[in-house]
């Protein structure tokens, strides 16, 4: 498939989804959200072992939702828009392989929320993060009130959401919102390097690890720990488990499926 608002490239088991509306700072229209969802479906069908989510241009990752669309929404229409945003964020979070947010420039509002749904976030020095919905008279509606505190802690999340604060890349790294900050001209190379490394790992083990990690906040700790035990044990007897351990014993690189 091809889309007007995103591009999808799949190369060597790595899928790259790029929101391609640079003149609008990659703001998320309904069409764009639906295209991202379809792109993720295609990436899964192609058995992508890593996904990169990026924005076109040099000014923004994703500057937020489309305010010109939202301004006159009724409550039922806003509910449908929120459900679409949640569906896309959930598709990122539940994708069977790691998803990396390559954040260049603004990641505000809904753009920040999609980054929060990713497994890993790498930012360049020009990146700016914020849950700025309060300035519009609303609150984060695509998972920000739930995912942000899990990353940065309750106090910091409340400050960001209540005050609509924008923070630079270094501050985002200090509070745990991003895992790595690189120079502006090094972002693509670093993201590609990380994606290739992830794609070389055991896809079966990565999928199991992601499932267990995602369950961490879904209920009591005992439930997550039980899932971890079952999932880990279930990997024994698979090709990748046997190959990984045999390769370790033989002091060679593993050839994972």
Residues known to be catalytic:
113, 133
Burial class (CB in 10 A: 0-12, 13-18, 19+), 167: buried
Distance CA 26, CA 33 (A): 11
Contact 151, 127 (CB under 8 A): no
Question: How many Cα atoms within 13 Å fall on the side-chain side of residue 133?
Answer: 21
First to last CA, the chain: 27
Sequence-distant (6+) residues with CB within 8 A of 136 are 67, 70
Residue that the structure tokens 């608002």 belong to:
5
Residue 20: what are its φ and ψ, rounded to 5°? -115, 65
**Nearest CA to 203 among 90, 93, 44, 92?**
44
Edge-first strand order for the sheet with 106-108 is 60-62, 106-108, 128-130, 166-168
Contact 56, 20 (CB under 8 A): yes
């Amino acid at each position: 498939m091809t889309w007007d608002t995103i591009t999808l490239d799949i190369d060597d088991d790595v899928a790259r989804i790029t929101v391609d509306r640079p003149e609008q700072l990659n703001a998320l229209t309904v069409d764009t959200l639906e295209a991202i969802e379809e792109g993720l479906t295609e990436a899964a069908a192609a058995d992508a072992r890593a996904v990169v989510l990026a924005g076109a241009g040099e000014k923004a990752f994703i500057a937020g939702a489309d305010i010109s669309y939202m301004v006159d929404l009724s409550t039922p229409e806003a509910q449908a828009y929120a459900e679409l945003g949640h569906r896309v964020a959930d598709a990122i979070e539940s994708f069977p392989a790691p998803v990396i947010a390559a954040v260049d420039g603004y990641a505000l509002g809904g753009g920040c929320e999609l980054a929060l749904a990713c497994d890993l976030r790498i930012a360049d020095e020009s990146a700016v993060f914020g849950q700025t919905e309060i300035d519009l008279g609303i609150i984060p509606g695509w998972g920000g009130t739930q995912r942000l505190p899990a990353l940065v802690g309750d106090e910091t999340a409340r400050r960001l959401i209540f005050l609509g604060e924008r923070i630079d890349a270094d501050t985002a790294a200090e509070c745990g919102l991003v895992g790595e900050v690189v120079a502006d001209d090094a972002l693509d190379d670093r993201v590609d390097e990380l994606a290739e490394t992830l794609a070389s790992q055991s896809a079966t083990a990565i999928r199991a690890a992601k499932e267990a990690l995602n369950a961490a906040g879904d209920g009591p700790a005992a439930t997550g720990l039980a899932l971890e035990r079952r999932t880990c044990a279930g990997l024994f007897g698979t090709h990748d488990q046997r190959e990984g351990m045999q390769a370790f014993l033989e002091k060679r690189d593993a050839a994972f499926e």
